[in-house]
Structures are given as structure tokens and as C-alpha cells.
Amino acid sequence: MIRLRSAVDEHLRENPAADGFVSRQLMASTPSTLRIEGDGNLQSMLVGAMMRKIKSRTWKKQRYFKLQDDCMTIWYKSKKAGNAHSTFSVSEVEAVREGHQSEVLLSIANEFPANRCFTLVFRGRKGNLDLVAESAEEAQSWIRGIRKLIENVENMGEREKLDQWISDWFKKADKDRDGRMNFKEVRDLLKMMNVDMNEHHALRLFTLADKSCSGSLEDDEFVLFYKMLTQREDVLTVFQEFSSDGQTLSHRDLEDFLREEQLEGDNVQQHAMHLIEQYEPSETAKMLNIMTFDGFLMYLSSTEGSIFNPQQRGIYQNMTLPLCHYFISSSHNTYLMEDQLRGQSSVEGYIRALNRGCRCVEVDCWDGPSGEPIVYHGHTFTSKILFKDVVTTVGNYAFKVSEYPVILSIENHCSVEQQRVMARHLSHILGEKLLRKPLDGHASTGLPSPENLKGKILVKAKKIGGLEENIGALVEDSMSGEVSDDDDVAEMEEENLHRDSVRGRRKKSKQCLSKELSDCVIYCKSFHFRSFKHSQMHSKFYEVASFTESKARKYLKESGAEFVQHNSRQLTRVYPTGFRTDSSNFHPQEMWNAGCQIVALNFQTAGEGMDLNDGLFSQNGCCGYVLKPSFMRQTKSGFDPETPQKQEDYQPVLLTIQVISGQQLPKVNIKEGSIVDPLVRVEIHGVPMDQAKQETRYIENNGFNPVWQDSLRFTIHTPELALVRFVVEDYDKTSKNDFVGQYTVPLTCMQQGYRHIHLLSRDGTSIPPSSLFVHVRITEV
């Protein structure tokens, strides 16, 4: 065995790249470099091209665009800007749309043909970049080239992402662009990287790395400097605890680690072999069926080593139960990009929501000019868009990221004539995607499942009569009927209250509804809720109640168990109060606690509400549907979120999280010399008894590799509903802490043992390689 160990050591001595994070070649080039040769599109992008950047019908300016040599950065400047230029990273780009697929490009469609136009869509909430190339061939070259680069980024492993990150820092620090860094540049780099190091220690590391004694670091010397800077003593301690010889993990050592620490009981032997094959960089170690420290760190930094259980990433839940048994990712005032009073309305809001897995979008419809219904936030200064453009967009994007049904929640303020136009647009544009009749051709006794409704768009709106009206042949005569405006009072009551000071109180009246639009409503009829008792006796399974957040909160406090039972039979929609003119969000967890399915949030507003929404729906393939716990699906369930301890099969758990360390946290304060003082707050979001938060101490002046080793403990009474949110903040003793990053995960999706948490930005986008290293234990109380 000693001979084998020395063989590995010898191999690693001869091949330092196998032992380190980055080889010299990766500093001189990128993972993409080898793929450029022979690729005409990338070669063309490296040369660059003059294109028009379009911001509006009147703002169309020429810019020179060029792909940088790192094949990760796109650079552009105007002819008149002198040395001024802008750049963005390919990793920021989510998708490329061809042709007139944005409102801006549609507005200049008569001027520039579709085959010269394309749109770059950025991650998070950053605006699109609309471009017009000089020729159709040039447009195709950039479209194909950028798509290839996006694919390359998405296929990068953790090692390549880290290589890219180091390469980016090298370029930022190399101010004079000579491919080497002097000590002053290194000192500035440390500040940029959130490292507060005294000059003597920094100089010592610099001197050790400067093997050529040239007074500057280049390529592999910088890699060595980075390795010394980022030694993971925390992971090394764990590694050596399980290593028989302190140098490597034998197959048996790795099995012990997986079984004892990671609590992986099934097929541990096979899993250990897979991890060595997948993450061990040394071919010699692979042949010997052992894992070096480098391989161990790569495993812990990977998706398999993350806190989110990869087995729950894909569709793993039963999708054949009634719709009301699922939480449904839902958007409020989807058309708005900003606030509720003066914000821009745009079809882009629908594209972004649907691409995030949202399955219920809202459309506020009003009479428009030329007989065409419009969509906007009524009685405000928000801009207006055409209803038919919204329907077209929903039809195009409904099933790009999830094949499960989309609910079009229509708030109808239109005249009968324009309602007929709405019905025509729905039928003609959506075609077979629009659900026009009950699935079996006859009224059943319960809602169909997401599985049965795959690829279908359902309309939620007011309806004349019941579901029975849609059975059999459709009535040919154009008819209209009256429905009480009470049916929609829940949709508007708080907003009306809010506007009372501006205009007179609206009188309740009868609203006329066209038969054509009514026939488009199948399983989601809006109805006026009176009481849980009345609903239990009289309401139909296809009727959907809408509550403002304050009304839902009132019912939750007064009749929690009845609310849960109601939601086991039919759908409920909860939406923000009209007083939230800034498009802020309420706390969605309290509505999920009652089993409310359609909890509508302002997707355009980043913050805790959307973090929780993203966290809940990050499981089950991000398909927009998450199965409710079994005790919320039983019609005779006695579960009350206010008193979970009275539930049958009540089993609380103890969650223990040791926050060990952080890695490469982003800099949040742009002041020169400012360095993060990070702390970690762990929040539990669940039933009222489970709502809790605890913090680590803060670490002064170290956002690069802070170490806490702080343990936090929580008793959780309803683990099936709990979400765990990790928040990193920059501590400030004189003002509010600055947000650094966060990650939210359902407790039921958490892996135990030593895990990395890959942090997300305020927008919900990843910020590699920023992470936390934690140890997780969940035990029954």
C-alpha cells in the first residue's frame, strides 16, 4: 500500500496540474479556445462587426461589437466614444431570440427585416439588448456563435467555472495589460477580491509565488499565488479525518465518509466509485480507485455535493392528482415591469415569468381603441399593450420550460363587443392549446390533474352558469348574459378602497358577459366567496375564490383548519393588496400554510417573497407545480397551521446547521478599499410556530474566505412545509446591513452532512464561485 501511495505522490509531483485547481494552459487560454478553430461563427465574432443597437423607434445607434480573446466577454463601443467602451459576459446571457421577438424590434419591423434582427436576453432583471446586423448572414453568425458560447458556459464543470473566475480576476488586476502583475497590482487585486491582508503577509505570498524572481507574477505564478491564497483548511480537516494515511481517501475511506457523514445509505459502494470516476483529476489515482484531496474538494463543490438533493431536481412527484392538490407558481399583474402606478406594461413580463416556470399569469383587460382590447393597470398611468399580443406571447412561451398547464387569469373590464374580440383572439391564436371543453366531454366530480392537462392553457374568469354549459355542442348563436359584479369584487375591493380618495365609490352593478368568452372558461370559474360553510355546501369544484392578502390572512387566523379543507377541494388565488403600489410582495409562506395554490407575486420585484417562491418551485423539475403534503390533500384533514402539534402523525424535527466557512463572497460596497464584514443568517419559513431566524457572528474584513464554525439549532414542527433561507449580509454597526447573497431550499430537499451552498444574487441568478460550506443534521425530536 505504501508503494501505491508513493506512486500517486510521484505522479502528482510530476503533474502539478492534477493536484492544483488550474494548469498553466488555462491561464493562457480558456476552455473555449480549442473549439474556436474551424468555427467560422466564433472566428467572425473575434474579428467584430458594426451593428445597430436599438432602444426605441427613434433611438437606433451604430456600435462596434467584438468577442474578446477569452471567448467569454463581448466588447462594444460607438465610433465617437473615443476609448470609452462597454462589456458584458456571455455568462450573463440567458438566451438569443431571432427576428422581431421583442417589442422594440417589432416597433421597427417595417424598417429592418426579421432576418437581420436578434435580441440578447440577460439573466435576472437586466434589460434586453436589441440588435440589427448589416446582413442576414452576419446576424446568423452572431446568433449561432453566442448560442454556442452559452452552451459552453452551461456545460462547464465546477473546475472550469473556477478557472474562468481566476482568469477574469487576472485580467481585472493586470491594469497595464502586459500579461503579468507587479506587487502593487496584486495588492489592488486583494482588495477587489474582498481580502484584507497586511502588506507583509501579502509580500511573503507574492515572493513565494515569484519563482522567476522577476518582481512580477505571470500565468502559472499567479495560479500558485491563488492556490496559496485559497487553501481550504476547513475541507482538509474533514478529508484527513477520514483518510487512513492522511494523503488520500481509499475506496473504503470514501464509503465510510458517505455513510457516516453524508448519511447516504443506498448503494454507497457504487456511489463511491462514481465519485472517483467523476471528480478525481489524477488518472493514476483513478486507476488505484482512490481519491486525492483535489478530487474530494471538487466533489464537495459540485452539484452532488451541494445542499440541494439532485434526485429532487427533476420531476419526482406524482403529477396525476387533482390540480387543487398542488402549489402553483403564480404571477400578479404579469404585464408590469415596474411599479403599479406609472410602470411600463410589456409582453416581456409574460416571457420572463413563463421562463421562470410560472404557471398562472394575470391579464387585466379594458376596452381599447379600434375595437381592440388592451392590457394595463386600470385607472393608473401604466402604459398599455394589446390583448392579442399578450395571448400570442403566452402561446409562444407557455411550454418552453414546463409542459404542465398554464392558467390565464383574466380580470375582465371590457364591453360585450370587445369580450367577443378577446374570445376570438384566444381561440384563433391559441388553437388546440386552449382548453375549450371538459376533458372527458362530460362534467366530472373533481378537477383534472396537471398530467391530464399537459400542453393546455386554461382561462380563469367569470362565467355564465356552470361547467355543464360547455358540454355537448357549442351554442352557435352569439349570446350574452349577466353576472353580478360581486363575482369579481374580491379582485378589486382593496384597489377600489385605495382609489376612493381620487374618484367616487363605484356602485355595484350587473356586468354583461359574452357567451363566447364565457365558453372559454372551463375548470377555473371566478366566484364570490361568502364563507367556508357556504362554500362546502354550495360551491362547485371548478369555482375559484380570489382573496387579497389581508382577507386571506383574516380567514387564516379565524378558521385555519377550514381554510385548509376548502383548499383540498378547490382552487384559491391570493394576490397582493392594492396598497402595494411599489409592486412589493407579501410573505407567500403564510398562504401556502393554508394550502392556497395560486399565491400570486410580483415577479418583477426581487426580495424575500420571490426568493421563497424560487426556493419552493426549484424542486420537481422547476415545472411550476409542487405537490402539497398529504395532510393538506385530505378533505377531512384537521390540520391547522396555527396548531400543528395537534395534527395526527405529528413528528417535529431538530435541524442543526453548522456554518463553517464562506468562499469568494461578492463585493457589495463600491467604495475603494471597502471589504465585506460577512455574517450568515439562517431563516426558517413555515407554520407560525416554525418561523425563526438565527445569525452567526460577523467576520471583520474578510469576504474572501471567512470562517465562522458557528452552530445554529431549530425545532421544526411541520417539516413538510418548511423552507430554509440562507442569507449573507455585510455587517454595518451604524446602518442597515447590505445584502451579499442568499439561497433558499425546501427542508425536504436538503442533503445532510458536509455541503456547499452556491449563493444567488438579489435577482436570483448564480454568482459563482461564491458559496457557503456547512454541515447539516436533521434528527427526530
Residue 64 assigned ligand-binding role: yes
Q: Grid coordinates in use for 470? A: 360547455
Residue 731 assigned ligand-binding role: yes
Q: Which residue has the cell 416556470?
A: 357
Residue 79 assigned ligand-binding role: yes
Q: Is 377 a catalytic residue?
A: yes
172 and 159 in contact (C-beta within 8 Å)? Answer: no
| Torsion angle (degrees, nearest 10) of CA 29, 30, 32, 33 | 0
Residue 206 assigned ligand-binding role: no
Could you tell me the CA-to-CA distances from 645 to 25, 66, 638 in Å, in that order?
60, 62, 11
Residues forming a β-bridge with 626 = 327
737 and 731 in contact (C-beta within 8 Å)? Answer: yes
Residue from 414, 415, 572 nearest 490 by CA: 572
Residue 462 assigned ligand-binding role: yes
Residue 73 assigned ligand-binding role: yes
Residue 68 assigned ligand-binding role: yes
Residue 27 assigned ligand-binding role: no
Residue 546 assigned ligand-binding role: yes
Residue 44 assigned ligand-binding role: no
437-446, long-range: CB within 8 Å, 24+ apart, which pairs?
437/470, 437/471, 437/522, 438/467, 438/470, 438/471, 438/522, 438/523, 441/471, 442/471, 443/467, 443/468, 443/471, 445/541, 446/322, 446/541
Choosing from 332, 413, 425, 685, the catalytic residue is 332
Could you tell me the CA-to-CA distances from 434 to 330, 402, 515 in Å, in that order?
19, 16, 16
Residue 53 assigned ligand-binding role: yes
363, containing H or E segment: strand 360-366
Residues forming a β-bridge with 75 = 66, 87
Residue 72 assigned ligand-binding role: yes
Q: Which residue has the cell 471597502?
A: 674
Residue 732 assigned ligand-binding role: yes
Whether residue 769 is preceded by a cis peptide bond, meaning omega within 30 degrees of 0, is yes
In degrees rounded to 5, what are phi and psi of residue 520? -80, -10
Residue 227 assigned ligand-binding role: no
Residue 457 assigned ligand-binding role: no
Strand order from edge to edge, sheet including 117-122: 86-89, 73-77, 60-67, 49-54, 129-132, 117-122, 93-98
Convert 451-466 to b/e letters by CB count within 10 Å (16 or more is b): eebeebbbbbbbbbee
Residue 123 assigned ligand-binding role: no
Residue from 121, 140, 143 nearest 130 by CA: 121
Residue 61 assigned ligand-binding role: yes
Residue 102 assigned ligand-binding role: no
Residue 628 assigned ligand-binding role: no
Q: Grid coordinates in use for 98? A: 431571432
Residue 63 assigned ligand-binding role: yes
Q: Grid coordinates in use for 700? A: 471583520
Residue 456 assigned ligand-binding role: no
Residue 5 assigned ligand-binding role: no
- Dmax (CA) of the chain: 91
Q: Is 332 a catalytic residue?
A: yes
Choosing from 377, 425, 685, 758, the catalytic residue is 377
Residue 367 assigned ligand-binding role: no
Residue 419 assigned ligand-binding role: no
Residue 75 assigned ligand-binding role: yes
451 and 536 in contact (C-beta within 8 Å)? Answer: no
Residue 508 assigned ligand-binding role: no
Q: Which residue has the cell 409582453?
A: 347
Tell me the helices (H) and strands (E) count for the chain, helix number first.
25, 30
Known binding site for Ca(2+): residues? Answer: 333, 362, 364, 411, 675, 677, 701, 730-732
Residues annotated as catalytic are: 332, 377
Known binding site: residues? Answer: 53-80, 333, 362, 364, 411, 460, 462, 546, 573, 675, 677, 701, 730-732
Known binding site for substrate: residues? Answer: 53-80, 460, 462, 546, 573
